[in-house]
Amino acid sequence: MAQMDFGGVTETVVTSKEFSLEKAREVLKNETIAVLGYGIQGPGQACNLRDNGFNVIVGQREGKTYDKAKADGWVPGKTLFSVEEAAQKGTIVCMLLSDAGQIQVWPKIKQYLTAGKALYYSHGFAINWSDRTNVIPPKDVDVIMVAPKGSGTSLRTMFCEGRGLNCSYAVYQDATGKATERTIAFGIGIGAGYMFKTTFQREATSDLTGERGSLMGAIEGLLEAQYQVLRENGHSPSEAFNETVEELTQSLMPLFAQKGMDWMYANCSTTAQRGALDWAPRFRDAIKPVMQWLYLSVKTGNEAQISIDSNSKSDYREKLNEELKTMRNSEMWRTAVTVRKLRPENDGQD
Catalytic residues: 123
DSSP string, 96-115: -S-HHHHHHHHHHHGGG--T
Asked if 88 contacts 59 with a C-beta cutoff of 8 angstroms, the reply is no
Q: Count the alpha carbons within 13 Å of 43 in the hemisphere toward its beta carbon.
A: 17
Q: DSSP alpha helices (H): ranges in the chain?
A: 21-27, 42-51, 64-71, 83-89, 99-109, 125-128, 130-133, 152-160, 179-189, 200-212, 217-232, 237-241, 253-259, 261-266, 270-299, 302-311, 316-328, 331-342
CB atoms within 10 A of CB 75: 11
d(C-alpha 35, C-alpha 318), whole Å = 27
Looking at residue 7, the DSSP 8-state letter turns out to be T
Q: What's the rounded Cα separation, in Å, for the pair 156 and 49?
A: 10
- Please report, for residues 151, 245, 326, 335, 342, the alpha-carbon distance to residue 238 in angstroms, rounded to integers and kept in the order given: 30, 10, 21, 7, 11
